[in-house]
Amino acid sequence: MSDLFFYGTLRHLPLLECVLGHALSNEKISQASLPDHAVYGVVDEAFPMIVPEEGSHAEGLLVQGFCPEDLSRLAFYEGGFDYDLSPQGVVLADGPRVEASVFFPEPGLWTPDRPWSLQTWVDKWSEVTLVAAQEELAYYGKVNATTISRNFAPIRTRAWAKLAARKRRTGDPRDTEKDVIVQSHRRAYVNYFGVEELDLQYRQHDGTMGPLLHRSGLMQGAAVVVLPYDPVRDTVLLVEQFRAPVFLIDDPEPWMWEPVAGMIDPGETPEQAAYREVQEEAHVGLDVLEYAGGAYSSSGSSTEYVHLYVGLGDLTRTIDNGGVVSEGEDIRTQILSYDTFMKKVDNNEFKDLPLLLMANWLARHRDRLRG
């Protein structure tokens, strides 16, 4: 049996139990601290790191009695953050000093930010972290921690989208707790996208439960689509970029003209994501966002939910170097007059469905926007 000291997110017991895969029952939990260390947030991340700091005390929990399987699951989870165990002497709240293992980050990997607060993290990030951990731990024993580390960002994006989806009610009286029976649920693949499989039955329109069906879903986060429009000049801005799925289906023109689009990051509202994406992809600052609706992009195959906007602003220049280089984006833009844009729509020159949706919305609201 082994003893570990937790100074960060695993002090949140629901998360610790998720990682372990069982409730804490036989383990002994005590308040403790690690002398000459302090806990700081990580720059641009939602988790903390521990650093040597003479005279400080890193507060945390000492958990005693972990079995080898517990340690293996913890190493898998923390390894995804590039943290490894190190033996340390921790001090219990009632005075005695004991030996325990502590997860330390790889030296130089992270940059410390401000002092970290557990309660602040619980209030803002614990829910999405727990949902993300459920997906990560589903791959325990199937992939290595490096694979999870490489896909940490999209997993959190999917978790943030799942929390938003749980609030997406329109008044349907049916209850999935009673009207959907899941026989098995498997997470089959993890990467930038995930794939999950189900064997299920659902209640049919005649009130009976239907046959057992095998279904799968492409697991994605939520996204924003923004069509920049200049109501003074009566022009729209489009972006062009290479799309691998279009290439994979053997379309000879995988460079697509589209509206600005991107995923909603954890902690972001759709509006914040819309402004950020237009700046990143088109180098344009918008004045106003007009909400044009939200919907699932392909509900028979994908979990992606898209928020549609027309963004109003001054469109005066195009670029050939938009996008985020670290994400492999290579984007150029063009500005079209409204009449030219709609002529291309009517001539079926565009192959992007959100762009066609936005063109129709703009046609119905153009007079109001110009007024």
Q: Which of 24, 141, 2, 34 is nearest to 77 (CA)?
A: 141
349 labelled binding-site residue: no
Helices (H), the chain: 13-20, 68-79, 118-138, 145-150, 152-165, 176-179, 244-248, 270-282, 338-346, 353-370
The contacts of residue 61 (CB under 8 Å, 6+ apart) are 5, 6, 11, 29, 30, 31, 32
Only one residue has tokens 């963004």, namely 311
- Alpha carbon separation from 6 to 33, 65, 168 (Å, rounded): 9, 14, 36
Residue type, 54: E
Residue type, 195: V
Structure tokens at 255: 């460079």
Residue type, 313: G
The contacts of residue 186 (CB under 8 Å, 6+ apart) are 196, 197, 198
Structure tokens at 239: 């972006």
159 labelled binding-site residue: no
261 labelled binding-site residue: yes
Q: Which of 58, 73, 69, 53 is nearest to 5 (CA)?
A: 58
Give the C-alpha separation, 228 to 235, whole Å. Answer: 8
Instruction: With beta carbons less than 8 A apart as the criterion, state whether 322 and 239 touch.
Output: yes
Instruction: With beta carbons less than 8 A apart as the criterion, state whether 278 and 287 touch.
Output: no
Give the C-alpha separation, 39 to 30, whole Å. Answer: 18
Beta bridge partners of 98: 90
Structure tokens at 337: 């007059």
329 labelled binding-site residue: yes
Strands (E), the chain: 2-6, 28-42, 48-66, 83-92, 97-105, 112-115, 180-190, 194-202, 213-219, 223-230, 235-242, 255-258, 260-263, 288-296, 305-312, 332-337
Binding site per annotation, positions? 261, 277, 281, 329
Binding site per annotation, positions for Mg(2+)? 261, 277, 281, 329
